[in-house]
Structure 1
Amino acid sequence: MSQQTIKDSGSDRLFIIFIYLFLTAVLVVVLYPLVYILSASLSSPSAVAAGKVWLLPVDFSLEGFKAVFSQSSVLRGYANTLFYTTLGTTINIILTIMIAYPLSRKTFVGRGIIMFLLVFTMLFEGGLIPLYLTVKNLGMLDSIWAMLLPNALMVWQVIIARTFFQMTIPEELSEAAQLDGCSDLAFMLKIVLPLSKPIVAVLILMYAVFHWNSYFEALMFLSSRELYPLQLVLREIVIMNTVDISNITDVASYSAQLNLANQLKYSLIVLTTLPILLIYPFVQKHFVRGMLIGSVKE
């Protein structure tokens, strides 16, 4: 039998062409600022100030990155941020799974009340001053725990994880495991977690991005410079590199410092976004699947 192909009508082909053109335009709008920032960070400060950079680097230079890494506090801030992100994400994942999985089981007594209390915290919060007083009374001020424990659990991620468990881990699977003598902990470690890689990838990405960009908590709770995360260190660098006109009498020196201060912003953006951009491709396939499954409500 010869296979017959269904040909698209003229209106269908026109619609597909329009979709491709629209998506291409969206791609250019989203991608161009990223390319421009990267090119500006790799160009000379004078070329950036003169507006010569459009797409590719002009007069290749690493002066912006050299100015950033000339500060010893940057490496310490990088190390602190990596520590906060790694440990904080680990705590988040453990606590989220520990509360989301029991809430997904129909046999769990009181799950409706607990879920109501969790959602209630999304509608009302104590405010900034009560949060500060709580952290202070717990003795966590100016410590690593001030960056980790106040945000150890996030309700929206709990809802996503709970929905995922409800749809992918049937009650019959748990009953079959119990008949085979499997304990609850063994069932969680050997069955639930291997089947939950997509949602775990989603949670890791969400929590890691939050901790990597964490800024306000450090500004509010930390006073020791040795504990500053990268975001706070880079903020200080931008402030310190602000040109003070009153202290400069030479026009050429003023122009050079002003150009370097402007280019410094692009270098800082690249440094802060590059790690997340490098991690995302490795979890992207799990991220899409987990979001599609975990976002479907009961």
Structure 2
Amino acid sequence: MTTTNATVRKEAEASLPSFVRRRKWSIADMLIHAVLIFLTVCTVFPFYNVLLMSFSNSAAIAKQAVYLVPTVFDFSAYSYILHEPRFLKAFLVTAFVTVAGTSLNLLGTLTGAYVLSKSGFPGRRLVMSGIIFTMFFNGGLIPFYLTMKNLGLINNLLVMILPVAINTFYMIICLSFFRTLPAGLEESAKIDGANEIQILYKIVLPVSKPMLATIALFYAVDRWNEWWHGVLFMTNVNLLPLQALLRELLTNYQQVLSSIAASVIVQNTGLHPEMLKMAVLIVSVLPIVLLYPFMQKYFSKGVMIGSIKG
């Protein structure tokens, strides 16, 4: 009987997939993986549904609100967006704001955090108190607008860069990280004759790539999604950022559909409001989504591996 049970067990194990045979799976392992797979599906499915709806059409949307498999591929929504005369200008504006803004963000945040991480910096606590104060209090929208107007930043792309040059929260993250670096790194560099700028850019930043990549990605997402300052300070429609233009397209189309001729417009164009909404979402997030895989490798790397050799 024992031999028979052992033979049956071996045959059952042989029928399992190879990746299961390589590891002794317990019931707890299977439950954990099942829960993780379920959560992954719950996370990915909304994005999957948005993507399919953006390629759908009015008839398909009328039949089903949730998509499991694609039934039709209609590029009307994307055509409507891409054929907007101001689309290319808005894209270039947003690209400039993202690249220039992120560069300035990193320059100001990293240098400021590095200086404030020095215990010998005079007035460090007073400066930090002033920085933290800005996280809880501000002058209000009207004084902010008047300040930008007095600085000549109305209808100026710098209005989407300079007022948000430093994010206080991100600076505190960098400051906390710099404080964890061993003092031996800087001391050895000073012995070799390096000054503070050389220490920052040749010693500190190379061992801070995971933190640097994370902060850069956060800033890039913020600058790419910039629309409020564009709406508030840009009276020239040719200077609107991409997000503000997409918002305007969606709002205008929904206002048109609120008229009596809405059904006729949808029938003639084949463009359902949900299609346009989902296409706007895809266009607005796609560049940042494509950026994530290139930054991901820095998130899991050890920060201090190989930085000090004893």
Report the TM-score when normalising by structure 1: 0.86
Could you say if the C-alpha distance between residues 144 and 162 of structure 1 is closer, same or farther in structure 2, counting changes exceeding 3 Å? same
Residue in 2 that maps onto 1:137: 150
Match of 1:164 among 177, 190, 196: 177
1:54 equivalent to 2:67? Answer: yes
Per-residue CA deviations over 1:122-161 (Å, capped at 9, x if unaligned) read: 1212121121111112111111111111100111101111
Residue in 2 that maps onto 1:97: 110
1:233 equivalent to 2:232? Answer: no
1:195 equivalent to 2:207? Answer: yes
Match of 1:19 among 32, 44, 52: 32
- List alignment gaps of at least 5 residues for structure 2: 1-24, 304-310
Distance 2:44 2:295 in 1: 20
Distance 1:90 1:37 in 2: 32
Residue pairs, 1:272-291, within 5 angstroms: 272-288=284-300
Instruction: Give the AA of the match of 1:103.
Output: L
Structure 2 counterpart SS, 1:122: coil
Residue in 2 that maps onto 1:185: 197
Give the conservation status (yes or no) of the 8 Å contact 1:44–1:58: no
Give the conservation status (yes or no) of the 8 Å contact 2:76–2:271: no
Distance 1:256 1:281 in 2: 40
Residue in 2 that maps onto 1:295: none
Report the TM-score when normalising by structure 2: 0.83
Match of 2:83 among 70, 78, 82: 70
Could you say if the C-alpha distance between residues 191 and 45 of structure 1 is closer, same or farther in structure 2, counting changes exceeding 3 Å? same
Greater Cα offset, 278-287 or 12-21: 12-21
1:229 CA drift (Å): 0.3
Structure 2 counterpart SS, 1:223: coil
1:270 equivalent to 2:273? Answer: no
Give the conservation status (yes or no) of the 8 Å contact 2:57–2:270: no
Distance 1:45 1:27 in 2: 30
Structure 1 counterpart SS, 2:172: helix
Distance 2:264 2:197 in 1: 69
1:50 CA drift (Å): 2.3
1:235 CA drift (Å): 1.2
Residue in 2 that maps onto 1:204: 216
Greater Cα offset, 40-49 or 256-265: 256-265
Give the conservation status (yes or no) of the 8 Å contact 2:58–2:266: no
Give the conservation status (yes or no) of the 8 Å contact 2:185–2:203: no
1:109 CA drift (Å): 2.4
Give the conservation status (yes or no) of the 8 Å contact 1:49–1:259: no
Distance 1:15 1:214 in 2: 45
Residue in 2 that maps onto 1:7: none
- List alignment gaps of at least 5 residues for structure 1: 1-11, 292-298
Instruction: Work out the number of aligned pairs and report it.
Output: 278
Give the conservation status (yes or no) of the 8 Å contact 2:97–2:160: yes
Distance 1:272 1:177 in 2: 44
Residue in 2 that maps onto 1:174: 186
1:289 CA drift (Å): 5.5
Residue pairs, 1:91-130, within 5 angstroms: 91-130=104-143
Residue in 2 that maps onto 1:31: 44
Give the conservation status (yes or no) of the 8 Å contact 1:135–1:146: yes
Q: CA RMSD in A?
A: 2.2
Distance 2:266 2:273 in 1: 10
Identity %: 35
Match of 2:101 among 79, 84, 88: 88
1:183 CA drift (Å): 1.8
Per-residue CA deviations over 1:165-194 (Å, capped at 9, x if unaligned) read: 1113x2222122112111222222211221
